[in-house]
Amino acid sequence: MTYCLGIINHFGIVMAADSRTNAGVDYISAYKKLFDLSLPGERVIIICSSGNLSITQGVLNRLNRDIQNQEEINLHTLPNMHDVARYIGNKSREMQDLDRSWLEKDKIDFSCNFLLGGQIKGEEAQLFLIYPQGNFIQATTETPFLQIGETKYGKPILDRTITYDTPLEDVAKCALLSIDSTMKSNISVGPPINIIMYKADSFKIRHTLQLRLGDPYLAKIRKLWEESVRQAFEAMPNIEWQQEVTESTDDILID
């Protein structure tokens, strides 16, 4: 399992992902799931992946190969982000179909999801979630974040904190806290954490960060967040019960 998220607003895009792909008593592995396939100065393309590792790696390999081979259609030639999302969805379907019969034979889940964020000159920054079937949805002002993988533990802080007007630095902090909250509750999500912050209309990624296990900043924000949550909990007023039930002899049943 994994956890990746993308957040978009007036100021730009933040995308973040953990790196854990398997977790068990005696086996833990990690692979990067956040990729920068941008063409600086012309377009920014950021991709997160979750799901079957062989399929997602195959899709990323084909995307890179099309760029390197200067194919007529690739991430750097498509005219808009909508077409980029469709192109990635098609590549995902192709890879799944290539190994489908053998994977289904052994009852292996080969589905995968992708987050696509970025901006092409002439358009506004955009964020998409691409499903295993190749179709996709787009983030909106009402729903400014999208998640893939183990989403439930990191969603509450996003619901309560993020708006379309939140400063981008605060969005980045919220993304890290969302992943940290997920790691706290689910062993299948873990570091290194990779995060990218892209400022709209800059057409170049200037802010990247990788946080490994034991990183001082990651430990600091976890400690501060846990202390703040505990203080907020302790400050909550007591429940005002409607009535207090007291036991009487009339309420006691005797055999």
Q: Among 5, 16, 19, which residue's Cα sits nearest to residue 188?
A: 19
**pLDDT bucket at 136, cuts 50 / 70 / 90:** very high
How many other β-carbons are positioned within 10 Å of the β-carbon of residue 121? Answer: 11
Q: Among 160, 133, 158, 132, which residue's Cα sits nearest to residue 146?
A: 158
**pLDDT bucket at 100, cuts 50 / 70 / 90:** confident
What's the pLDDT at 102? Answer: 83
What's the pLDDT at 28? Answer: 67
**pLDDT bucket at 31, cuts 50 / 70 / 90:** confident
Q: Which CATH number fits domain 3-234: 3.60.20.10, 3.40.1080.10, 1.10.357.10, 3.40.50.410?
A: 3.60.20.10
Question: Which H helix or E strand runs over 80?
Answer: none
Q: Tell me how long the chain is.
A: 255
β-bridge pairing 34-36 and 20-22: unpaired
The full set of domain ranges for the chain reads: 3-234
DSSP-assigned states of every residue in 17-29 = E--EEE--SS--E
Could you read off the pLDDT of 198-251 as tens digits, one per residue? 999 999 999 999 999 889 999 999 999 999 999 999 999 999 988 766 665 555
What's the pLDDT at 75? Answer: 98
How many other β-carbons are positioned within 10 Å of the β-carbon of residue 70? Answer: 9
Strand partners, 146: 6
Dihedral sign computed on CA atoms, order 188, 131, 34, 154: negative
